[in-house]
Amino acid sequence: MDRKTFLARLGGTGAVALLPANALMAALEKPVEKKAKEKIVPADGGIELRVLGNPQTHKVVGVDTDNQIFEWIDNAEPGFGIPPHIHTREDEIFRVLKGKVEIMVDNKSTVLEAGDMAYAPKNLVHSWTVVGNEKAQMWVSAFPSGMEHMFHELSQLPEGKPDFEKVASICTRYGITFV
């Protein structure tokens, strides 16, 4: 089918409809330059941090993905968790690899086990806590990226019980508030 027939079927008629289509076609013919490159990360690879006392491995970050996605693995002890909070910038997906994690999204709680996942869209309250007697491991995705910078700042806090005011202050700069 030629372009004129295609546009006519879409409801476009005359030269006015052809001008935007011609501009669109010209834009589509130009190659899109992407900064992102392929990246292979072995199971034991990534950037290791200690965030609020727990090991965290960053697998892919914003500079790897044109700021589209940030993925990391959380390794957390029983009882560890993140209190209810809201993200204003990114959605998150939580995939449990080991252990059990109770997750709450929009006031609905469930216990996730290995192989389970949960989606927490931005602007909804959510939290999570490792339940049971074994460590948990979660692969978490946030999109768009940006939170990796917050985790770097949090990893610079002194060891021991975190100062909630400092943690909250850092998180607030990244559009995350505790409720």
Each residue's pLDDT tens digit, 9-45: 666 544 444 446 565 556 566 666 667 889 999 999 9
Examine residue 138 and state whether it is found in any structural domain, yes or no.
yes
- Tokens 């339940």 found at: 131
With vertex at residue 158, the alpha carbon angle to CA 152 and CA 164, rounded to the nearest 5 degrees, is: 80
88 and 112 co-located in one domain:
yes
Residue 168 has pLDDT above 90, yes or no: yes
Cα–Cα distance, 179 to 177 (Å, whole number): 6
pLDDT at 17: 46
Examine residue 100 and state whether it is found in any structural domain, yes or no.
yes
- Higher-confidence residue of 99 and 23: namely 99
Examine residue 112 and state whether it is found in any structural domain, yes or no.
yes
pLDDT mean over 98-110: 98
φ/ψ of residue 114, rounded to 5: -50, 130
pLDDT mean over 60-72: 96
pLDDT at 35: 74
Examine residue 42 and state whether it is found in any structural domain, yes or no.
no
Which domain covers residue 139, as residue numbers?
A: 47-178
Examine residue 38 and state whether it is found in any structural domain, yes or no.
no
26 and 67 co-located in one domain:
no
- Higher-confidence residue of 127 and 33: namely 127
- Higher-confidence residue of 28 and 105: namely 105
Examine residue 41 and state whether it is found in any structural domain, yes or no.
no
52 and 74 co-located in one domain:
yes
15 and 98 co-located in one domain:
no
Q: What's the number of domains the chain is made of? A: 2
Please state whether the predicted TM-score (pTM) of the whole model is above 0.85: no
- Identify the three-state secondary structure at position 136: strand
